[in-house]
């Protein structure tokens, strides 16, 4: 983020809290506890996943969304892959391991708001298939802490991908 120079990094206690949160949240997705994961989002969540249309290096990067959801539409996505009777893409479930690293965290303008960036690598192996999908990218989150803990208010996952390698994306990152 370009403005990161002006923002102040969180202190070590907050950093550990945020890191733990990001790990625990990804563990929920790897365990397919999608509804529990959904409960960690604010009611006004804005959740986006983008890919790239390749341009010459001297041009600006052309990013565009392949997922752009509010709470209502994201809930449908979550409900669909949560229910074995309502999904073919995730039944049998894709075997996944999500790696989160390079976490940077800053205090947002309001109290209790954190802006974080992190790297994500999603290893996804469709059951019964020798193929493995790898989805890597940078995430930009806005997290909010209140008395009940941390919630995600905004997430943008900027995948380093132009063509999705393994068909369509039914998973969350």
Partner 1 sequence: MESDATGWVDVERGLVSREAFVSDEVYQLEIERIFNRSWIYLGHETEIPNVGDYVVRNLGNAPVIVVRDTPESVKVLLNSCRHRGAKLCRADAGNTRNFVCPFHGWAYEIDGALRTTGFDHHFREDTDFSTMGLVPAPNVESFYGLIFASWDEAALPLRDYLGDIGWYLETFFNRTPGGMEVLAPPHRWRSKANWKIGSLNFIGDSQHSPTTHIGPSTLDSARTIRDGFRKHGQDSFHVVTDEGHGCTLTYLAPGMPEKNYHTHSETLKPLYDKSLSPDQSSMLHHLRVCVGTVFPNMSFIESQVGAGEKALIVRLWHPVSGTEMEVLSWVFAEKEADQGYKDRVLRNGFHNFGAAGVFEQDDMVLWESATAASNNPIAQQYPYSFQTALPYFDTPDENHKWQGRAHRPADTEIAQFWFMQRWDALMRTNESKSDE
Which of 35, 73, 102, 132 touches partner 1 (CB under 8 A)?
73
Pairing of strands 149-159, 41-53: parallel
Contact (Cβ atoms closer than 8 angstroms) between residue 94 and residue 170: yes
Q: Does 102 bind partner 1 (CB under 8 A)?
A: no
Give the max Cα distance, the chain. Answer: 49
Smallest separation (angstroms) from partner 1 to the CB of 79: 5
Q: Within 13 Å, how many C-alpha atoms sit on residue 120's CB side? A: 31
Confirm or reject binding of residue 85 to partner 1 (CB under 8 A): yes
Instruction: Select the residue interacting with partner 1 from 5, 8, 56, 147 (CB under 8 A).
Output: 56
Given 5, 13, 43, 53, the residue binding partner 1 (CB under 8 A): 53
- Rounded CA gap, 32 and 24, in Å? 12
86 binds partner 1 (CB under 8 A): yes
Q: According to CB under 8 A, which one of 18, 115, 126, 156 is a site residue for partner 1?
A: 126
The SS3 call for residue 2 is helix
Q: Which of 89, 103, 121, 144 binds partner 1 (CB under 8 A)?
A: 89
Task: Report d(CA 151, CA 173) in Å as an integer.
Answer: 15
Q: Tokens representing 159?
A: 């995948």
CA dihedral 81, 85, 89, 90 (to 10 degrees): 60
**Among 24-32, 95-103, 106-114, 160-168, the segment contacting partner 1 (CB under 8 A):** 160-168
* 162: contact with partner 1 by CB under 8 A: yes
Give the binding site for partner 1 (CB under 8 A).
Answer: 49, 51, 53-56, 59, 62, 64-69, 72-73, 76-77, 79-80, 83, 85-89, 126, 131, 162-170
């Amino acid at each position: 983020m370009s403005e990161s120079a002006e923002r102040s990094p969180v202190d070590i206690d907050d950093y550990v809290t945020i890191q733990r949160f990001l790990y625990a949240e990804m563990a929920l997705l790897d365990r397919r506890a999608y509804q529990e994961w959904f409960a960690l989002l604010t009611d006004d969540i804005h959740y986006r996943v983008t890919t790239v249309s390749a341009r010459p290096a001297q041009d600006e990067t052309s990013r565009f969304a392949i997922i752009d959801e509010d709470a209502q539409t994201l809930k449908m996505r979550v409900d669909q892959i949560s229910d074995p009777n309502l999904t073919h893409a995730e039944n049998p479930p894709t075997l996944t391991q999500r790696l989160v690293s390079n976490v940077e965290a800053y205090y947002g303008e309001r109290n209790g708001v954190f802006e974080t960036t992190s790297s994500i690598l999603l290893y996804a192996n469709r059951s019964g298939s020798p193929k493995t999908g790898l989805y890597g990218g940078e995430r930009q989150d806005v997290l909010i802490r209140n008395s009940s803990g941390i919630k995600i208010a905004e997430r943008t996952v900027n995948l380093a991908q132009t063509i999705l390698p393994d068909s369509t994306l039914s998973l969350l990152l």
